[in-house]
Chains A and B, each alone.
Chain A
């Protein structure tokens, strides 16, 4: 590796740039290394992440510990303690010794401050069994983007080992109530760090939903004295009311192609599910019950809509064609199931179920009807799948305060997300970006 791999400053965008392969080491076949992911009972891949060597002034973010936290939170990795020693990406490593410690893979790297104030971050992923390099990259990053760089490295490692895309560099959105008269719509990294307020209001905001391309958020704002559905462009802050009919307007859900929104409107009486174009035009009613139909969620192929209905008494989840009519009940356990979200592969449904007074996140295998609780808390809300379908983000309560947590969809690993102070709720996991 030489300095020549680092691009000149003028060609480097503000965002993390230049993921350059460090050395032409033959890659071992991914299939051989892929962790078999079969849900409950799957094995965790043992990996060791050594401290990154630091040259010169200390970096503002701990790259190595962010990578460890990301991989550990995924539920698919078991982090083998690497001891306190730093190992640079160009150091000579005795891989057999690391294999002996129980690590099937080892991550080494370095971080150095450049003359222009940015940082050069380098990493290698080494297979201790085959004694070969699996990956090696160099990034130039601003101080502000170092966390993102760490998430991107974690994504690379995740993909090299599991064969699936990592979600650590994606973003989440959620609502935080900072006082009785103050609500904010935040966007943060997938681990809850780097929160930024996209909207502040003195009235409630609920039900944010990312557009499939990750550029817009639909949500419900009460700023005009009643619930109205808005679509908000995140980068420009431009926003418009797309459903502002007589009565209440709520529960926006994007179709997978981003062209339509399913919403709950009460303009004809009680809450019913309607479909409209994403700009608010061409509104047509999909459900026609005499009770409550709400919380629409599109199936992965866009052909069906799951929703919550009290037509059978208590709330249960139903499925209907996207053209409306002919709804079938989907949940049968317990007397209270709601807030359905479909996994990206369309095979699983996550929702909130109440059993014995506890509101918990459940995951249902749609084909078999098998249901598994994935949390052990009692006041869960708003489950949301990661774009790779392996993790769920949800809101829960600890000591009366709303917090965010993530759980692997098999329920094996649960992590409380760090975040700003205040009452946090209504999380929604954004899509892969590019």
Chain B
């Protein structure tokens, strides 16, 4: 409140006191004065404002889980690897980063990282190679603050190929680690 407002309020208060003082001399036999109604009182009362308008979004009930929103970077859940490699390439770091942040702030979420390989080589050895890929992704996630109990690493080796041919195009699709939320 500015000083000007203060002095104005003081003047009003003084005038009110004088008015009351003046009333005290009113003859009791005269008509009682009309009750004074404070018109500002309703504004401070609690309860719904009958003139309020609550905005409603018709789609509100169907808000997308960020994991299922195709526009959300979390919907990208595969990291692809070079032949015989377990190195998470720089182009896939943002994907791992996104999931790392999400899991870091959503500690109740659990994820399974599934390692896969192409068809070349032995099945059990490929199972172990796929595990190495899954572990590589897990180690990255943990560097981002994800805790061990949030991530299980498993491998499918060469058993569940995404690309079915026996060519580099198919193999490249199959050398990957998938993040599956539980």
Residue numbers of A with Cβ under 8 A of B are 180, 204, 206-207, 222, 225-227, 246-248, 250-251, 264, 266, 269-271, 291-292, 294-295, 308, 315, 336, 338-339, 352, 359, 381-382, 400, 425-426
Structural contact, A222 and B131, CB atoms closer than 8 A: no
Q: How far is the CB of B15 from chain A (nearest CB, A)?
A: 82
Candidates A180, A206, A269, A400; contact of B123 at CB < 8 Å = A206
- Highest count of chain B CB atoms <10 Å: which of A207, A269, A291: A269
A–B Cβ pairs within 8 angstroms, 16 of them? A226-B114, A226-B154, A227-B156, A247-B153, A248-B131, A248-B153, A270-B128, A270-B135, A294-B128, A308-B122, A315-B125, A338-B122, A382-B122, A382-B123, A425-B123, A426-B123
Interface flag for B107 (CB, 8 Å): no
Candidates B112, B122, B123, B132; contact of A270 at CB < 8 Å = B132
Structural contact, A381 and B131, CB atoms closer than 8 A: no
Given contacts A292-B131, A381-B123, 7 further A-B contacts (CB under 8 A): A204-B160, A206-B157, A207-B123, A227-B127, A227-B155, A247-B152, A271-B127
Q: How large is the interface on B (under 10, 10 to 19, 20 to 34, 35 or more residues)?
A: 20 to 34
Chain B stretch 84-114: residues in CB contact (< 8 A) with chain A:
112, 114
Q: Please name all residues of chain B whose beta carbon is closer than 8 Å to the beta carbon of A294 when the two chains form the complex.
A: 124-125, 127-128
Q: How far is the CB of A140 from chain B (nearest CB, A)?
A: 43
Closest residue to A228 on the B side, CB-wise?
B154
- Highest count of chain A CB atoms <10 Å: which of B123, B135, B152: B123
Q: Please name all residues of chain B whose beta carbon is closer than 8 Å to the beta carbon of A359 when the two chains form the complex.
A: 121-122
Chain B stretch 135-158: residues in CB contact (< 8 A) with chain A:
135, 152-157
Bound Cα distance A246, B122 (Å): 23
Bound Cα distance A251, B131 (Å): 14
Structural contact, B132 and A264, CB atoms closer than 8 A: no
Structural contact, A400 and B166, CB atoms closer than 8 A: yes
Structural contact, A292 and B155, CB atoms closer than 8 A: no
Bound Cα distance A206, B153 (Å): 19
Closest residue to A400 on the B side, CB-wise?
B166
Q: How far is the CB of B12 from chain A (nearest CB, A)?
A: 76
Q: Please name all residues of chain B whose beta carbon is closer than 8 Å to the beta carbon of A204 when the two chains form the complex.
A: 156, 159-160
Interface flag for B79 (CB, 8 Å): no
Q: How far is the CB of B111 from chain A (nearest CB, A)?
A: 13
Q: Please name all residues of chain B whose beta carbon is closer than 8 Å to the beta carbon of A425 when the two chains form the complex.
A: 123
Candidates A180, A247, A295, A400; contact of B124 at CB < 8 Å = A295
Q: Please name all residues of chain A whose beta carbon is closer than 8 Å to the beta carbon of B129 when the two chains form the complex.
A: 292
Q: How far is the CB of A427 from chain B (nearest CB, A)?
A: 12
Q: Please name all residues of chain B whose beta carbon is closer than 8 Å to the beta carbon of A246 when the two chains form the complex.
A: 152
Q: How far is the CB of A350 from chain B (nearest CB, A)?
A: 13
